[in-house]
């Protein structure tokens, strides 16, 4: 019996340890799973009512400063996983970004590389790696951090637009927004003085 258990662990454990963007996992988090928030979880609401949650226990390279997750408002179902670092100059950010472009292209050679975005000066500021149903979006932009103007390099794993997985996540999000709005209206009406209205 012990030999069977060891054999099962040897067969399945490498697959678990090797989970990566090909499986929808990035920085230690899985697309479509629910984030387990704690007492110290930092989050903020987006303009669409979803949440951006600062990941508390990411699995990341040392040179990545922060991992954040775009989640639905109620169940905290993960729709995007973002890894970011900030730099004082554009040149530093570009050099850092190029290293990750090369690294990710080497790690995911079968992902389609391209779909570049340019800024007003026609410099490339974003590239995509696609492998349906996933998209890995690398982006460089000017950003503020702790009140300082800085350059941010980010990598975001999400679902390709138009895929069933992207549609499912949007439906979950929309459903949770509608429920929250109804509850908010109900609470507002219960707590308000409605005399004469």
Distance of CA 189 to the CA centre of its chain: 36
Residue 9 confidence (pLDDT)? 37
Residue 116 confidence (pLDDT)? 81
Q: Where are the domains of the chain?
A: 2-190
Give the max Cα distance, the chain. Answer: 77
Judge whether 66 and 51 are in contact, CB under 8 Å.
no
Structure tokens at 53: 């949650």
Residue 174 confidence (pLDDT)? 87
Residue 16 confidence (pLDDT)? 41
What is the chain's percent helix, strand, coil content, to nearest 5?
35, 35, 30
Digitized pLDDT (tens) for each residue of the chain, 197 residues in all: 444 433 333 334 443 445 799 999 999 999 999 999 888 889 998 888 899 999 999 999 999 999 999 999 989 999 999 999 999 999 999 999 999 999 999 999 999 998 887 778 778 789 999 999 999 999 999 888 888 899 999 999 999 989 999 999 998 988 887 776 666 666 766 777 767 67
Judge whether 84 and 150 are in contact, CB under 8 Å.
no
Buried b (16+ CB within 10 A) or exposed e, 172-184: bbeebbeeeeeee
The DSSP symbol for 77 reads B
């Amino acid at each position: 019996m012990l030999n069977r258990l060891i054999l099962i662990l040897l067969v399945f454990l490498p697959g678990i340890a090797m989970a990566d963007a090909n499986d929808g996992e990035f920085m230690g988090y899985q697309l479509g799973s629910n984030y387990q928030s704690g007492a110290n979880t930092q989050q903020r609401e987006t303009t669409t009512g979803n949440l951006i949650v600062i990941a508390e226990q990411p699995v990341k390279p040392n040179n990545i400063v922060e991992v954040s997750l775009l989640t639905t408002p109620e169940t905290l179902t993960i729709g995007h996983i973002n890894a970011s670092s900030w730099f004082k100059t554009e040149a530093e950010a570009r050099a850092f970004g190029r290293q990750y472009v090369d690294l990710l292209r080497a790690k995911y050679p079968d992902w389609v590389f391209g779909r570049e975005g340019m800024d007003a000066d026609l410099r490339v500021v974003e590239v995509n790696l696609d492998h349906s149903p996933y998209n890995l979006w690398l982006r460089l932009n000017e950003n503020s951090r702790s009140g300082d103007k800085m350059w941010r390099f980010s990598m975001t794993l999400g679902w390709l637009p138009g895929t069933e997985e992207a549609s499912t996540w949007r439906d979950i999000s929309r459903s949770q927004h509608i429920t929250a709005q109804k509850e908010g209206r109900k609470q507002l009406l219960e707590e308000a003085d409605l005399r004469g209205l």
